[in-house]
Amino acid sequence: MRAVVQRVSGAAVSVDGRQIGEIRSGLVVLLGVGLDDGPGDVRYMAEKIANLRIFADKSGKLNCSVTELSYEVLAVSQFTLYGDCRHGRRPSFSMAAGPAQARELYDLFVDDLKARGIRVAAGEFQTHMSVEIINDGPVTILIDSKKSF
């Protein structure tokens, strides 16, 4: 499972010009599900994101998490995070999970964050979306449940 996590002061997601989700301060999580991902990857990713200390404390150090500050998360499924561009010019998505597996694990991820007391807005699975992001910092973190960078 892969995620691009961006600290934001606001974000929204729309489908066909209709806004379906919005957050104020918090995190936008673009989440990709791989072929070999399972519930363990979901738990890892949700725990990591819920407790990721990338918000400033009173002294300005990145020492607070979205959970501690009661901030929000906008979760958007993004299979293109598994695009492999090493060969040729068109990315291969052969390592991305199929729609049924990806939807199940994406939904588990959203449910896991909600169970941790985080307000979560979500994109619409397998739909063309417009995502508006107001980066804060900017702070962008890459997380992969299978490897470290």
Neighbours of 44 (CB within 10 A): 16
Q: Kindly name the residue from 6, 55, 79, 109 that is annotated as catalytic.
A: 79
Q: Is 79 tagged catalytic?
A: yes
Which residue among 19, 80, 126, 127 is the active-site one?
Answer: 80
Give, as one character, the DSSP assignment of residue 34. B
Note if 78 is an active site residue.
yes
Mean pLDDT within 33-44: 97
Task: Name the residue ranges covered by the structural domains of the chain.
Answer: 19-144
Give the whole-angstrom CA distance, residue 5 versus residue 101: 22
What is the pTM for the complete model shown? 0.95
Proportion of the chain above pLDDT 90, given as a percent? 98
CA distance readout (Å), 26 to 39, 72, 97, 145? 24, 5, 27, 21
Under CATH, which number does the domain 19-144 receive?
3.50.80.10
Residue 147 has pLDDT above 90, yes or no: no
Assess whether pLDDT exceeds 90 at residue 148: no
